Amino acid sequence: MPLQGNLRDFSTTQLLNLINLAGKSGTLTFFEGKRTGEVENLGDQKRERIVAGQERAAMSFRSGKLIFAKMTGQDGSLISVLNKAGKLTDEQARIIRERAKNTTDKALALLLINANYVSQNDVVTCIQQHTLDVVYNLMAWNDNPFRLDEDVHPDGSRIQVPIDLENVIIEGARRIREIAELNQHLPNLDMALKFPDNPKEKFKGIHLSVEEWRVVSFVNPKNTIRQIAKANNMSETEIRRVVYGLEQAGLVEMVKPPGMEQAAAGDRRRRPPQKPQVQRVTVNRLIDKIRSI
Amino acid sequence: MQTVKMVITGPFSAGKTEFIRSISEIEVVSTEQNISTDAEKKEKEQTTVAMDFGRITVDDDLVLYLFGTPGQRRFDFMWEILAEGMLGFVVMVDSAKPETFREAKSILETFRAYAPTPYVVAANKQDHPDAWSADDLRIALRIEEGVKLLPCVAKDKESVKGVLLELLYSILEEMDAG
């Protein structure tokens, strides 16, 4: 049975770690998250149920190594990859595409190497970089259903370059850490923003990007950061990045919007833990009893 | 009469009440409440709001109590009270619901902080077609190698016995280690 879930619960980095440690083979497919409008209940937390829609991307693995990755709708053929990397000109790529319509990537690679268009190293490096680009792009996704099918493998005609997952995970984790730091700095998007005293002074000589101006135009103690993000059609990460920059520059300050409740104090004082005084013979009696049930 | 307590914890709908019900010699004293909304009812009809209570009598001198914690965070004021004096604890995880894994890990860490007692993790609902294997769960939950992560089906008494026995073996091992 396939492993399946959603990236909002289990990140790409965690999935890659699982595949690496367990030495798994197969194909990990990511889907568009289709919102159902239904609410699912996770104890205290309620959220909208998301089901798998169309396929968006896939990565394949052999014995815990990444061997292939593709984005739906993106041309990942050898010609495109070499063209994108500057190893083939647009004109060369067009001619080869025309003449080698029914040739597999593997066969084409041999032809190109034999014809001295590219070296074997060029092919390997470009395919590897393309695969990594796809994977790093995927690392930013956080709301997509996924499924790992251990009996699905990539088409044999594709060139597969095994890549150790450790480095991919480290780089992926670094990118996610950047997002986590922003989340840590700005954990509550229900806070509002206000201008500091003497805002005109602070804004003097400052050059803001278009996105920053869009945020600044909504700054008001009555608007939460979440509302500003929504009004500007920005993701949570995007708004965090902008607000962080504005705050660090002293251009805005965070305030509680009117009516915001104080967060419940979760750090109740705890008594020091106490171990029960139970003897070995008692545990053995419990074992005997449970065995006999 | 000596009483010994074990705690069965885990996220909402992980199977804690079912676990206790499968092995308790008494009808489980459940403090369950009907769930009000349709969305919540999709998961289960009732939820534990204070605790579940089951009992296994060894003999006239010794009784084992099983306490099931409420899964929702809004009832977590009960957790510390239930954890007081426990011999060990079981963390139940719904293996077919990866969306609850993070919460399971958080609950595990919370209970470890309450008391340094042995514990095991029960990968429940292994009979579900979407269940993650115990090995995959270990990696997903980042459970250390030394901690037992046991496949479990809470409605199966033999499976529940297996989990409790493994917890008791862990308690013995800790006593041996000193």
Phi first, then psi: give them for residue A40, nearest 5 degrees: -110, 150
The 10s digit of each residue's pLDDT in A144-181 is: 999 999 999 988 888 999 999 988 888 777 777 777 77
> Which pLDDT score is estimated for A211?
81
- Per DSSP, helices labelled H in chain B are 16-23, 38-43, 77-83, 101-114, 134-141, 157-177
Cβ contact A146:A18 at 8 Å: no
State mean pLDDT over A271-281.
69
Which of A35-39, A269-273, A280-284 bottoms out in mean pLDDT, i.e. has the lowest? A269-273
State mean pLDDT over A29-43.
85
Confidence of residue A261 (pLDDT cuts 50, 70, 90): very low
A84, β-bridge pairs: none
> Which pLDDT score is estimated for A260?
63
pLDDT for residue B43 is more than 60 = no
The 10s digit of each residue's pLDDT in B71-95 is: 666 667 677 777 888 999 999 999 9
Beta-sheet strands, E only, within chain A = 3-6, 26-42, 45-62, 65-71, 145-149, 192-194, 253-255
C-alpha triplet A165, A53, A37: angle, nearest 5°: 120
The 10s digit of each residue's pLDDT in A77-92 is: 999 999 988 899 988 8
Q: Which residue has the higher pLDDT, A260 or A40?
A: A40
> Which pLDDT score is estimated for B31?
59
Query: What is the extent of the structural domain holding B95?
Result: 2-177
Among residues of chain B, what percentage have pLDDT more than 90?
Answer: 49
The 10s digit of each residue's pLDDT in A184-236 is: 778 888 889 988 776 666 666 677 887 888 898 888 888 899 999 888 877 77
Quick one: which of A97, A157, A89 has its CA closest to A118?
A89
- Name residues 137-166 of chain B within 8 A of A (Cβ): 139-140, 157, 161, 164-165
Tally of domains within chain B: 1
Cross-chain residue pair B62–A286, CB shorter than 8 Å: yes
Can you tell me the distance from the alpha carbon of A119 to that of A112, in angstroms, rounded to the nearest whole number?
8
Can you tell me the distance from the alpha carbon of B163 to that of B9, in angstroms, rounded to the nearest whole number?
13
Nearest-Cα distance to chain B for A229, in Å, is 26
Strand pairing class (B62-68; B2-9): parallel
Quick one: which of A3, A127, A83 has its CA closest to B131?
A3
> Which pLDDT score is estimated for A79?
92
pLDDT for residue A43 is more than 70 = no
CATH number of the domain where residue B142 is located: 3.40.50.300
> Which pLDDT score is estimated for A130?
92
Among residues of chain B, what percentage have pLDDT more than 70?
Answer: 82
**Phi/psi class of residue A144: alpha, beta or left (left: φ > 0; alpha: ψ in -120 to 50)?**
beta
Confidence of residue B30 (pLDDT cuts 50, 70, 90): low
Per CB-CB distance under 8 Å, the chain B contacts of A21 are 139
Strand pairing class (B88-94; B2-9): parallel
* Angle at which helices A120-139 and A165-185 cross, to 10°: 30
* Tokens found for residue B47: 């939820």
Phi first, then psi: give them for residue B104, nearest 5 degrees: -60, -45
* Tokens found for residue A233: 């059609």
Confidence of residue B147 (pLDDT cuts 50, 70, 90): very high
Which of A55-59, A113-117, A170-174, B152-156 bottoms out in mean pLDDT, i.e. has the lowest? A170-174
Nearest-Cα distance to chain B for A92, in Å, is 47
Interface check B78 vs A, CB under 8 A: no
Which of A189-193, A288-292, B30-34 bottoms out in mean pLDDT, i.e. has the lowest? B30-34
pLDDT for residue A262 is more than 70 = no
Q: Provide the mean pLDDT of chain A.
A: 84
Interface check A269 vs B, CB under 8 A: no
Q: Which residue has the higher pLDDT, B159 or B144?
A: B159
* Tokens found for residue A199: 């805002």
> Which pLDDT score is estimated for B120?
97
* Tokens found for residue A120: 């074997």
State mean pLDDT over A262-289.
67
The 10s digit of each residue's pLDDT in B107-146 is: 998 888 888 899 999 999 999 999 999 999 998 888 888 8
User: Nearest-CA residue of chain A relative to B136?
Assistant: A18
Nearest-Cα distance to chain A for B25, in Å, is 9
pLDDT for residue A65 is more than 50 = yes
C-alpha triplet A233, A142, A45: angle, nearest 5°: 90
Helix, strand or coil, per DSSP, at residue A231: helix
Nearest to A42 among B12, B80, B169 (CB): B12
Phi first, then psi: give them for residue A238, nearest 5 degrees: -60, -45
Q: In the 8-state DSSP scheme, what is residue B53?
A: E
